[in-house]
């Protein structure tokens, strides 16, 4: 079992429902976002100008610099591939924030620790989908087992030639994107 996600950028309209759902699910303050959505563009020339949206949760990298660089072992990879932060071990040094090439970690000042998307692992353990996947009305997000050749995410990766962000970094992300 290796949990992963596919995000279809052809379907994402930048509504930020995933961001808000994540904030509500994890009881985050308004200024803390584990699931940001960026606007990419504009591209082209008038009148043919376009832009698209890029949701960026934690990539749950197989070769995660945040796990390797954490001095206290607070950042860890679970056997199912999900990267988590043990808050009781985190000393708030922010080194993991520095080494994450995707910029997805957030410092929770009120707690003095670093936090991030954990793919709603508690929901997954109950047989539910991550809140961001469940909330996306346009079905731009899909979560599943990357090790299962019959899973929806594996099929989407093959059918739509989905690929991770910045594969040249060698972090082996578990989040794939279908690009427009």
Q: For 125, how many CA atoms within 13 A lie in the half-sphere containing its CB?
A: 7
pLDDT per residue as tens digits for the range 112-130: 999 999 999 999 999 999 9
Round the average pLDDT of the chain to a whole number and report it: 97
pLDDT per residue as tens digits for the range 116-166: 999 999 999 999 999 999 999 999 999 999 999 999 999 999 999 999 999
pLDDT per residue as tens digits for the range 47-74: 999 999 999 999 999 999 999 999 999 9
- Mean pLDDT value of segment 27-42: 94
Q: What is the CATH number of the domain that holds 91?
A: 3.30.70.20
For the chain, the domain total comes to 1
Strands 75-77, 83-85: pairing kind: antiparallel
* Residue-range definition of the domain harbouring residue 137: 3-178
């Amino acid at each position: 079992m290796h949990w992963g996600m596919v995000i279809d950028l052809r379907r994402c309209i930048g509504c930020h429902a995933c961001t808000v759902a994540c904030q509500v699910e994890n009881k985050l303050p308004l200024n803390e976002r584990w699931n940001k959505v960026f606007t990419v563009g504009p591209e082209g020339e008038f009148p043919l100008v376009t832009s698209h949206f890029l949701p960026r949760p934690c990539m749950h990298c197989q070769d995660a610099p945040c796990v390797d660089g954490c001095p206290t072992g607070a950042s860890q990879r679970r056997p199912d591939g999900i990267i988590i932060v043990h808050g009781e071990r985190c000393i708030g040094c922010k080194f993991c924030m520095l080494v994450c090439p995707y910029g997805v970690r957030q410092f929770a000042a009120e707690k003095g620790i670093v936090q991030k998307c954990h793919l709603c692992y508690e929901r997954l353990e109950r047989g539910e989908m991550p809140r961001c996947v469940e909330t996306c009305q346009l079905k731009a997000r899909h979560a599943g087992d990357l090790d299962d050749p019959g899973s929806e995410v594996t099929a989407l990766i093959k059918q739509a030639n989905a690929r991770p962000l910045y594969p040249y970094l060698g972090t082996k992300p578990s989040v794939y994107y279908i690009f427009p």
